[in-house]
Structure 1
Amino acid sequence: MIKRLTLSLAAAGLVAGCSLAPTFHRPDAPIATVYPVETGQAADNAAAIGWREFFPDQRLQALIETALANNRDLRIAALRIEEARAQYNIQSADLLPTLNAAAGGARSRTPASLSLNGRSTVTSSYQVGLSLASFELDFFGRVRSLNDAALAQYLATEEAAQAARISLVSEVAKAYLAERAFAEQYELARKTVESRDEAYKLAKQRFDVGASSALDLRQNEILVQTARASLATLTRQRAQAVNALTLLVGTPLTNLPAAQSLDSQDIVTDIPAGLPSDLLIRRPDIRSAEQRLKAANANIGAARAAFFPRISLTAGIGTASNALDGLFEAGSRTWSFAPQLLLPIFDAGRNSASLSLAEVRNNVAVAEYEKSIQTAFREVADALTARSTLEEQIEAQRAVQVAQAERLKLADLRYQNGVASSLDVLDAQRELFSAEQALVQARLLRLTNAIDLYRALGGGTGETGAKASGKQD
């Protein structure tokens, strides 16, 4: 019997390779073959640039390293991988038979009124053996398709976690740079408040002695209060930026290296974009969508197999006796073999509906895969388009700031010589403050654009360079 059972399982393994799942073909990428702006074609790409190499600021490196270890969203993504792995292991167990060791005993009493000999009797039975639980012979690949779907879902979860890691690296960097921008703007506003306070005091002294009009005094007062309002706004915005950064990092921001100004940030900006088709292998979110598509494709095979007969085996072998000491005596061996065939005849359209559902979900997965490619293409194209103009914008804004500073000097000189009114000076002060704030924003845009392009091209998964060190000032 054991030999016969072994041969049956071997035969089942040979025929179980059949699958009714459609042959998987990666859909054509619904994007152009080139980006709308000219791109570099260097050998390296964003995915090959580690985040330590991309972000040389040691304070930022320390923040990213801490976030990768403590961010709760990333921790959830890692746990999702463990969940998917466990689910795959459960599903793959159905590919092999399940053997159980079983032992049991029973005693029963038959009353005299029911006994053939007119006397009450007590009977005992004991058995020990191995049993094969209902094992499906996967002739039409139903179990194999379900296993393939579970594997693809597991791989999709792994890729999604990689995408979450890339996103976290870029979000921490942008949050840090935003906090630095608010800090620089705050410092500009603080110095502006101090200088305008001094100017207001002088204007009041001139007004008190009749050397200037009430209009000049009120204009100075407006500038002072405007600067104070900007200072209060920037104080709030900087505090909120710190809170956002703390949430991303997942722990209080302590014992960090000294911060660098936006102007001294040496973030890599010349990133070769390559070809749009490169996104298919660089972006983990696209790879995750492809794995989900493979899972949906495999589920079609399982739904098709449900229309065919399902054959399962149940068997057992062991010993049995009416006394414990007779379990292993000669002649006590028992065995059972119970094959079962289930053939769908009438299920009120359940199998047809299941197949339709699997096909619709596959079409949804195709659309999601194509959308992920289109989204990636747009993100890269937007970042490349912005990169081509931001350098020019910064240079122009810097020229505006220099010109406004020179204008203020000339206006103040003309006012001291009685050639111009104080309104010219006040207007020059206001315009210079706006130009300084706009220059900070332009620098932030340039750095943020570089981060967006780095993330869009699939960078941020690896790390290179020495670890950050040093303490916060």
Structure 2
Amino acid sequence: MIKNKLHLYAGAACILIALGACKSIDIPQKEENKNVPESYGTDTANDSINTAKLTWDHFFTDPNLQSLIQTALQNNQELNITLQEVEISKNEIRAKKGEYLPSLGVKAGVGMDKVSRYTNIGAMEATTDIKPGKEMPDPLFDMGVGAYANWETDIWGKLHNAKRAQVQRYLGTIEGRNFMVTNIIGEIADAYYELLALDNELQIVQDNIKIQSDALNVVKLLKQSARSNELAVKRFEAQVLKTKSMQYDIQQEIVEAENRINFLVGRYPQHVERSKDSFDNLVPQAVYAGLPSDLLENRPDIKSAEYELAATKLDIKSAKARFYPSVGISAGIGYQAFDPGYLVNPKSLLYNLVGDLVAPVLNRNAIKAAYYNANAKQIQAVYHYEQSILNAYIEVANQLAKIKNLQGSYDLKSQEVDALVKSIGISNDLFKYARADYMEVLLTQRDALEAKFELVETKVNQLKTTVAVYKALGGGWDQQPLVNPDTKKDTNK
């Protein structure tokens, strides 16, 4: 009767302890704001067409540029490093899943025990017979073989939520990979257009050298006829030498631009095949921004921040579950004996089954700190998510405005170049007939060369801005699945 009451009191005490442990701190979570403006500005119209939906091989039509991008998606070291991060994150899911599944193992062991005869255990062994007329073996061996199992039931979802959080982070690493793909494509396109611009500048310099050399020959002839002087000859000669020296600066820039592409492609320095068409004939790709709300779906960095936010919310649930009691079950079965002959005897069979109820009652500071940290990280994730949306919107708005302004600038620069090119011929004619001095000719040639360079710079900025809009809208990553070059597996699986 008394024994039954003790069991009842013990059970009631366990229940009270468990209920006391269930008291947890509840902190409201911060909700994210997904609202974005309806357009990218007062002068931009809403359009359902979105350039980001185009795959990169449809957006970039130059076959040489397509080949470079395709090679980079296979060989770029930074991208392959990121692919390994995806593999690591996938393995973390497997590890988290294993924490809430039952574990089963087998074990076998052999031991020996020699105790003093003059201790209580030694005295009992001396008088204990396994069989009539035989003492307990001395030293005493202990051998066993069996299986064991452990399982935490996870009734509050602590381990399951930790695994779900890791799944969200795995999806975030995939979006991080997609974001890197977009950036690499953009970097290669920028460097490729820069290389084309440098080729064009080199051609401009070489054409200008011919114009200046012709002017120098004219000045020399005029000097012979006493219609000019040695000063004019030397000034024209110096101008020709200065322009010729510019070739080497541009050639060095071409080498560096080629090697920047080679680095992105993941290969050692070599010639970069590129379009032989006139740079002036390049037309920037038309872009359509779509709706600002499309950014939430198209931008990999926004989606990555969203997955991290979802993970932090699950982290809070997992941390909160630590306040509650945990129930664990362990079991074992096997054989144990001091002699191999008895090991398979039915009387050597042993087994156990244990259930544990563990609840934190006092000094829960570590659990509280983990819960507070989880809440703080969730708030951080909200701000980071909102910041990613704001940054994406501003990037698109800036680049759309830049496209418009660069077009206006390019139109005026083209007219300036046309005027200065015509003025070169006019100044040369005037100089021949002593209607203009040599300084006017030199200044006209210099201004024309600078204007041509500025026109090339404006054109390449137009091309780069088109690429920047494509990146800002979230284009480039939505292509065929990337395959890990080491495992030969699709990283999305």
Q: TM-score with structure 1 length normalisation? A: 0.86
Paired with 1:348 and 1:462, the residues of 2 have a C-alpha distance of 47
- Give the match for residue 125 of structure 1: 142
- Give the match for residue 168 of structure 1: 184
Alignment match of 2:99 (pick from 74, 78, 94) = 94
C-alpha change, 1:107 and 1:343, in structure 2 (3 Å) is same
Paired with 1:462 and 1:453, the residues of 2 have a C-alpha distance of 16
Paired with 2:285 and 2:438, the residues of 1 have a C-alpha distance of 45
- Give the match for residue 16 of structure 1: none
- Give the match for residue 276 of structure 1: 292
Asked if 1:442 corresponds to 2:447, the answer is: no
Alignment match of 2:32 (pick from 27, 30, 34) = 27
- Give the match for residue 430 of structure 2: 414
- Give the match for residue 305 of structure 1: 321
- Give the match for residue 296 of structure 1: 312
Q: Which has the higher contact order (CA 8 A, sep 6+)?
A: 1
- Give the match for residue 346 of structure 2: 330
Q: Per the alignment, in what secondary structure is the counterpart of residue 332 of structure 2?
A: strand
Q: Which amino acid aligns with 2:198?
A: F
* Alpha-carbon shift at residue 257 of structure 1 (Å): 6.0
* Alpha-carbon shift at residue 395 of structure 1 (Å): 2.3
Alignment match of 1:56 (pick from 61, 65, 74) = 61
Paired with 1:399 and 1:32, the residues of 2 have a C-alpha distance of 38
Asked if 1:424 corresponds to 2:437, the answer is: no
Q: Which amino acid aligns with 1:67?
A: A
Asked if 1:318 corresponds to 2:341, the answer is: no
1:20–1:305 contact (8 Å) kept in structure 2: no
Q: Which amino acid aligns with 1:167?
A: N
Q: Which moved more, 1:310-319 or 1:249-258?
A: 249-258
- Give the match for residue 10 of structure 1: none
Q: Which amino acid aligns with 1:193?
A: I
C-alpha change, 1:351 and 1:260, in structure 2 (3 Å) is farther
- Give the match for residue 86 of structure 2: 81
Alignment match of 1:362 (pick from 378, 388, 407) = 378
2:39–2:46 contact (8 Å) kept in structure 1: no
- Give the match for residue 174 of structure 2: 158
Paired with 2:324 and 2:377, the residues of 1 have a C-alpha distance of 22
C-alpha change, 1:21 and 1:411, in structure 2 (3 Å) is farther
* Alpha-carbon shift at residue 23 of structure 1 (Å): 10
Paired with 1:28 and 1:60, the residues of 2 have a C-alpha distance of 39
Paired with 2:294 and 2:178, the residues of 1 have a C-alpha distance of 17
- Give the match for residue 15 of structure 1: none
Q: For each residue in 1:119-143, what CA deviation from the matched residue of structure 2 results, as whole angstroms up to 9, or x when unmatched?
A: 772333332222113x322122211
Alignment match of 1:454 (pick from 465, 470, 473) = 470
* Alpha-carbon shift at residue 260 of structure 1 (Å): 4.0
Q: Which amino acid aligns with 1:459?
A: G
Q: Which amino acid aligns with 1:187?
A: Q
* Alpha-carbon shift at residue 348 of structure 1 (Å): 6.5
* Alpha-carbon shift at residue 84 of structure 1 (Å): 0.8
Q: Per the alignment, in what secondary structure is the counterpart of residue 362 of structure 2?
A: coil
Q: Which amino acid aligns with 2:54?
A: I
Q: Which amino acid aligns with 1:457?
A: L
- Give the match for residue 470 of structure 1: none
Paired with 2:26 and 2:197, the residues of 1 have a C-alpha distance of 54
* Alpha-carbon shift at residue 376 of structure 1 (Å): 0.6
1:283–1:457 contact (8 Å) kept in structure 2: yes
Q: For each residue in 1:200-227, what CA deviation from the matched residue of structure 2 results, as whole angstroms up to 9, or x when unmatched?
A: 3543454466431344234324422442
2:62–2:275 contact (8 Å) kept in structure 1: no
C-alpha change, 1:244 and 1:366, in structure 2 (3 Å) is same
Q: Which moved more, 1:373-382 or 1:214-223?
A: 214-223
Asked if 1:72 corresponds to 2:77, the answer is: yes
- 1:197-212 equivalences under 5 Å are 197-204=213-220, 206-207=222-223, 210-212=226-228
Q: Per the alignment, in what secondary structure is the counterpart of residue 185 of structure 2?
A: helix
Q: For each residue in 1:242-261, what CA deviation from the matched residue of structure 2 results, as whole angstroms up to 9, or x when unmatched?
A: 22112111114458465444
Q: Per the alignment, in what secondary structure is the counterpart of residue 384 of structure 1?
A: helix
Of all paired residues, the percent bearing the same amino acid is 26
Q: Per the alignment, in what secondary structure is the counterpart of residue 114 of structure 2?
A: strand
Alignment match of 2:47 (pick from 41, 44, 49) = 41
* Alpha-carbon shift at residue 40 of structure 1 (Å): 5.5
Structure number, greater radius of gyration: 2
Asked if 1:138 corresponds to 2:154, the answer is: yes
- Give the match for residue 223 of structure 1: 239
For structure 2, the residue ranges without an aligned partner over 5 or more in a row are: 1-23, 128-134, 481-493
C-alpha change, 1:152 and 1:55, in structure 2 (3 Å) is same
Paired with 1:232 and 1:256, the residues of 2 have a C-alpha distance of 21
Q: Which moved more, 1:332-341 or 1:178-187?
A: 332-341
Paired with 1:309 and 1:419, the residues of 2 have a C-alpha distance of 101
Q: Which amino acid aligns with 1:79?
A: Q
C-alpha change, 1:279 and 1:29, in structure 2 (3 Å) is same
C-alpha change, 1:265 and 1:222, in structure 2 (3 Å) is same
1:56–1:267 contact (8 Å) kept in structure 2: no
Q: Per the alignment, in what secondary structure is the counterpart of residue 130 of structure 1?
A: strand
Q: Per the alignment, in what secondary structure is the counterpart of residue 459 of structure 1?
A: coil
What is the RMSD computed on CA atoms of the aligned residues?
A: 2.7
C-alpha change, 1:257 and 1:230, in structure 2 (3 Å) is closer
Asked if 1:352 corresponds to 2:368, the answer is: yes
- Give the match for residue 10 of structure 2: none
* Alpha-carbon shift at residue 51 of structure 1 (Å): 1.0
C-alpha change, 1:190 and 1:24, in structure 2 (3 Å) is farther
Q: Per the alignment, in what secondary structure is the counterpart of residue 333 of structure 2?
A: strand
Alignment match of 2:388 (pick from 357, 372, 380) = 372
C-alpha change, 1:24 and 1:73, in structure 2 (3 Å) is farther
Q: Per the alignment, in what secondary structure is the counterpart of residue 286 of structure 1?
A: helix
For structure 1, the residue ranges without an aligned partner over 5 or more in a row are: 1-18, 465-473
* Alpha-carbon shift at residue 306 of structure 1 (Å): 1.9
Paired with 1:130 and 1:267, the residues of 2 have a C-alpha distance of 70
Paired with 2:465 and 2:45, the residues of 1 have a C-alpha distance of 15
Q: Which amino acid aligns with 2:146?
A: G
Paired with 2:262 and 2:25, the residues of 1 have a C-alpha distance of 51
Alignment match of 1:385 (pick from 383, 401, 416) = 401
1:290–1:369 contact (8 Å) kept in structure 2: yes
C-alpha change, 1:388 and 1:20, in structure 2 (3 Å) is farther
